[in-house]
């Protein structure tokens, strides 16, 4: 029975404190929020959050389509002002709120508040997707609804996003809606096998298993990856293969994991999803700015591969821009005056947003009299300055390149060694793989993880290992410039029948750095990647490596735009594991490394042919000076 003074219900019970529908008193807010379910052509409705500046009239729309929760992405702060609630992933308050844009963020189908079934990087309609819908149709239907239901807008829409959301910004370019005036894919996923999230040149990115587990297990990421060891090096080493690590967590229930196990090579399943293959066939008709980070730890392939694929066609190149900065994955949306321990001497993220991104968006969405940025705006690390150009250097090294030769005594220089230079050997043992950062390896997602900046971590711990070769130049007396993508021509033999090759281009700092003592002798990676040896002849058709027979391994490394300063040295490191960033190669040929038994993992001796191994780079000792 209710006591005297307590509120009661008609049946005499105690009334609930909580109203059935709480009404937020937001009349004083500087924005209006609308949550809507926008219908798609197949009947599915997609949850969409719309943030409209109070009193907006004739405002352009900035759209992002995401699998990372639209609700979360407009709730970074508790405020009645637009800026604080957008202070986080995919949002730049100084661009969006200060720019007067209507902000629209939508959950892609099957994630969080949206209906339908989620498919990781849902393929475009065609051989891999027989349905009537894909990300391009969902974007078209969304824009169609927005321009007819937002009277506060000027009817012009731009799409922008980082990573997966950069991927959806690319898919919007297929059969684009007439109201889509601009696209800005930032650090986008483009080709998951060649060099973005899932593989690099055939080596599987084992550190992405937790992402697949959480992202593709449930609509709202309610299932959390588990590990009983703090050090991910131990977690994956004890599991055996990457396939075994997934299966012990029940990942065979996840369709995308099953597809990865079934398609370890670059077959049609991967090729038919590669945006740098598909979009050039579609044609680029919407002004597009690709944004690339020089130290992108997740997607350092996609933006540059797509740029080179599109700029070949004059019609597409007319709509193409590129921005390159000294950032990690998505670092351009934040304060960016450092890259790991490297001081950049200015806030490079702010510079990009103010001088490149803002005028680009404003020109197409607000006022066409606003001057556009250069076709290519790129930061030159080492010298720490911005450059403007009409194009990147050519993709290949047919002309204008400098060759850095491996030399006896683990030297490096412009002079080719004699044919009798010999070999440099190391033993690669899968039971003791080379870690990609100093142990303990703390995976992404943990608060003490160094995942975001691992590409800028000191490589001296790796150089000290006997299974890592280091070839180092003399101390430079003049600046040495590297532009574009370095090409490694490596000749090596192995006692195994398979193997991986990791190549790193490194800036070795002087022994003493007066204004930053901790940087004395620092080894900073400028460009690095991995090649799975079975794919040396064909990415689509693997072949065993003939034991003890020298083979050629040609690798195109990620984009660099760097000056090695006088007093520094140039280093190339070569190794055969990068763990657990990439799964271990058994070094015994098996049909599918995901299914490799434990007894297949065996040590191998690798012999690098010094006279037949070199690195080609655009630039050289006098370029640009």
Query: Coil, strand or helix: which one is 486?
Result: strand
pLDDT in tens, 215-236: 999 999 999 999 999 999 999 9
Q: Please check whether residues 579 and 545 belong to one and the same domain.
A: yes
Mean of all residue pLDDT scores within the chain:
95
Amino acid 162: pLDDT: 98
Cα first-last separation, the chain:
89
Annotate 588-607 with three-state secondary structure.
Answer: CCCCCHHHCCHHHCCCEEEE
Q: Which helix (H) or strand (E) holds 35?
A: strand 31-39
Q: Which helix (H) or strand (E) holds 155?
A: strand 153-162
Question: Taking 90 as the threshold, does the pLDDT of residue 293 lie above it?
Answer: yes
52 is in which domain, residue-wise?
Answer: 31-188+274-336+345-380
**pLDDT interval class at 3 (50, 70, 90):** low
Annotate 334-354 with three-state secondary structure.
Answer: CCCCEECCEECCCCHHHHHHH
Q: Please check whether residues 460 and 548 belong to one and the same domain.
A: yes
Question: Domain for residue 264, yes or no?
Answer: no
Question: Taking 80 as the threshold, does the pLDDT of residue 105 lie above it?
Answer: yes
**pLDDT interval class at 145 (50, 70, 90):** very high
Q: Residue 369 class from Cβ within 10 Å (0-12 exposed, 13-18 middle, 19+ buried)?
A: exposed
Q: Please check whether residues 422 and 358 belong to one and the same domain.
A: no
Write the CATH number for 143.
3.40.50.1820
Question: Domain for residue 120, yes or no?
Answer: yes
Round the CA-based radius of gyration of the chain to a whole number and report it.
26
Q: Please check whether residues 428 and 501 belong to one and the same domain.
A: yes
Question: Taking 50 as the threshold, does the pLDDT of residue 624 lie above it?
Answer: no
Q: Which two tokens stand for residue 6?
A: 């307590």
Q: What is the largest CA-CA distance in the chain?
A: 101
**pLDDT interval class at 623 (50, 70, 90):** very low
Q: Residues 190, 306: contact at Cβ < 8 Å?
A: yes
Question: Domain for residue 12, yes or no?
Answer: no
User: Which of 478, 421, 446, 504 is closest to 624 using CA atoms?
Assistant: 478
Mean pLDDT of all residues in 173-177? 98
Question: Taking 60 as the threshold, does the pLDDT of residue 2 lie above it?
Answer: no
Q: Any idea how long the chain is?
A: 625
Amino acid 77: pLDDT: 82
- Residue 14: DSSP 8-state: B
pLDDT in tens, 268-291: 999 999 999 999 999 999 999 999
Please give the Cα distance from 538 to 549 (Å, whole number): 18
Query: Coil, strand or helix: which one is 451?
Result: helix
Question: Domain for residue 315, yes or no?
Answer: yes
Question: Domain for residue 210, yes or no?
Answer: no
User: Which residue bears the tokens 């949206």?
Assistant: 114
Question: Domain for residue 16, yes or no?
Answer: no
Q: Residues 540, 265: contact at Cβ < 8 Å?
A: yes
Write the CATH number for 506.
2.60.120.260
Question: Domain for residue 470, yes or no?
Answer: yes
User: Which of 315, 361, 442 is closest to 61 using CA atoms?
Assistant: 361
CA distances (Å), 414 to each of 6, 95, 344, 347, in order? 89, 46, 29, 36
Q: Please check whether residues 466 and 611 belong to one and the same domain.
A: yes
pLDDT in tens, 441-469: 998 888 889 899 999 999 999 999 999 99
Q: Please check whether residues 421 and 548 belong to one and the same domain.
A: yes
Q: Which two tokens stand for residue 499?
A: 């193997």
Q: Please check whether residues 469 and 577 belong to one and the same domain.
A: yes
Query: Coil, strand or helix: which one is 71?
Result: helix
Query: Coil, strand or helix: which one is 461?
Result: helix
Question: Domain for residue 267, yes or no?
Answer: no
Assess whether the previous peptide bond of 347 is cis (omega < 30° from 0).
Answer: no
Q: Please check whether residues 354 and 425 belong to one and the same domain.
A: no
Q: Please check whether residues 358 and 418 belong to one and the same domain.
A: no
Q: Which helix (H) or strand (E) holds 364?
A: helix 358-365
Backbone dihedral angles phi then psi of residue 42, each to the nearest 5 degrees: -95, 5
Amino acid 10: pLDDT: 64
**pLDDT interval class at 78 (50, 70, 90):** confident
Q: Please check whether residues 279 and 422 belong to one and the same domain.
A: no
Counting DSSP H helices and E strands in the chain, the numbers are: 15, 26
Number of Cβ within 10 Å of residue 562's Cβ equals 24
199-200 and 180-186 as β-strands: parallel, antiparallel, unpaired?
unpaired
Q: Please check whether residues 180 and 297 belong to one and the same domain.
A: yes
Q: Please check whether residues 349 and 436 belong to one and the same domain.
A: no
Mean pLDDT of all residues in 128-152? 98
**pLDDT interval class at 4 (50, 70, 90):** low
Amino acid 625: pLDDT: 43
CA distances (Å), 295 to each of 170, 177, 253, 328, in order? 21, 33, 34, 5
High-pLDDT (> 70) share of the chain, %: 97
pLDDT in tens, 15-24: 889 998 898 8
User: Which of 513, 498, 592 is closest to 547 using CA atoms?
Assistant: 498
pLDDT in tens, 341-354: 999 999 999 999 99
User: Which residue bears the tokens 């070569």?
Assistant: 574
pLDDT in tens, 30-66: 999 999 999 999 999 999 999 999 999 999 999 999 9
Amino acid 76: pLDDT: 83
Count how many domains the chain has.
2
């Amino acid at each position: 029975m209710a006591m005297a003074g307590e509120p009661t219900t008609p049946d005499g019970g105690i009334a609930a404190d909580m109203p059935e529908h709480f009404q937020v008193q937001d009349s004083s807010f500087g924005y209006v929020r609308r949550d809507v379910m926008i219908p798609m052509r197949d009947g599915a409705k997609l949850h969409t959050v719309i943030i409209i500046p109070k009193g907006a009239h004739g405002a352009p729309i900035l759209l992002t389509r995401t699998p990372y929760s639209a609700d979360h992405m407009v709730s970074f702060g508790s405020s009645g002002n637009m800026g604080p609630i957008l202070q986080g992933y995919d949002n730049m308050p100084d661009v969006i709120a200060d720019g007067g844009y209507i902000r629209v963020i939508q959950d892609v189908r099957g994630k969080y508040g949206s209906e339908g079934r989620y498919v990781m990087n849902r393929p475009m309609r065609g051989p891999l997707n027989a349905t009537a819908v894909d990300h391009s149709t969902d974007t078209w239907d969304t824009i169609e609804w927005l321009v007819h239901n937002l009277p506060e807008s000027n009817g012009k829409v731009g799409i922008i996003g980082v990573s997966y959301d950069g991927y959806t910004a690319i898919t919007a370019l297929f059969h684009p809606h007439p109201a889509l005036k601009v696209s800005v894919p930032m650090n986008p996923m483009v080709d998951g096998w060649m060099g973005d999230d899932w593989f690099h040149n055939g080596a599987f990115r084992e550190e992405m298993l937790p992402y697949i587990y959480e992202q593709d297990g449930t609509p709202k990421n309610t299932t959390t990856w588990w590990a009983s060891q703090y050090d991910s090096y131990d977690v994956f080493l004890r599991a055996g293969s990457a396939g075994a690590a997934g299966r012990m967590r029940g990942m065979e229930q996840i369709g995308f994991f099953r597809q990865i196990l079934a398609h370890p090579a670059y077959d049609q399943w991967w090729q038919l999803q590669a945006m740098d293959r598909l979009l050039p066939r579609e044609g680029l008709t919407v002004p597009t700015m690709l944004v690339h980070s020089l130290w992108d730890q997740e997607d350092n392939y996609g933006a540059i591969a797509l740029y080179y694929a599109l700029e070949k066609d004059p019609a597409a190149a007319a709509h193409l821009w590129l921005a390159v900065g000294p950032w990690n994955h998505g670092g351009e949306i934040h304060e960016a005056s450092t890259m790991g321990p490297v001081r950049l001497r200015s806030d490079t993220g702010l510079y990009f947003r103010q001088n490149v991104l803002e005028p680009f968006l404003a020109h197409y969405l607000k006022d066409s009299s606003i001057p556009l940025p250069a076709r290519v705006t790129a930061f030159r690390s080492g010298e720490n300055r911005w450059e403007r150009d009409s194009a990147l250097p050519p993709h290949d090294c047919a002309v204008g390149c400098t060759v850095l030769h491996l030399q006896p005594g683990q030297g490096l220089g412009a002079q080719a060694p004699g044919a009798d230079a010999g070999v440099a050997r190391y033993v690669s043992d899968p039971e003791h793989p080379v870690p990609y950062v100093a142990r303990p390896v703390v995976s992404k997602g943990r608060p003490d993880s160094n995942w975001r900046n691992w590409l800028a971590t000191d490589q001296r711990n790796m150089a000290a290992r006997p299974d890592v070769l280091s070839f180092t130049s003399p101390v430079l007396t003049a600046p040495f410039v590297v532009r574009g993508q370095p090409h490694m021509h490596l000749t090596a033999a192995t006692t195994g029948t398979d193997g991986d090759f990791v190549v790193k281009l490194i800036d070795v700092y002087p022994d003493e750095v007066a204004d930053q003592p901790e940087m004395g002798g620092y080894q900073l990676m400028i460009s690095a990647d991995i090649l799975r040896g079975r794919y040396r002849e064909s990415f689509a058709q693997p072949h065993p490596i003939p034991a003890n027979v020298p083979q050629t391994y040609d690798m195109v490394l990620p984009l660099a735009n760097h000056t090695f300063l006088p007093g520094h040295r140039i280093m190339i490191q070569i190794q055969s594991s990068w763990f657990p960033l990439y799964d271990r190669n058994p070094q015994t040929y098996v049909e599918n490394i995901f299914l490799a038994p434990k007894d297949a993992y065996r040590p191998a001796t690798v012999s690098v042919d010094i006279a037949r191994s070199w690195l080609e780079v655009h630039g050289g000792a006098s370029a640009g000076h």
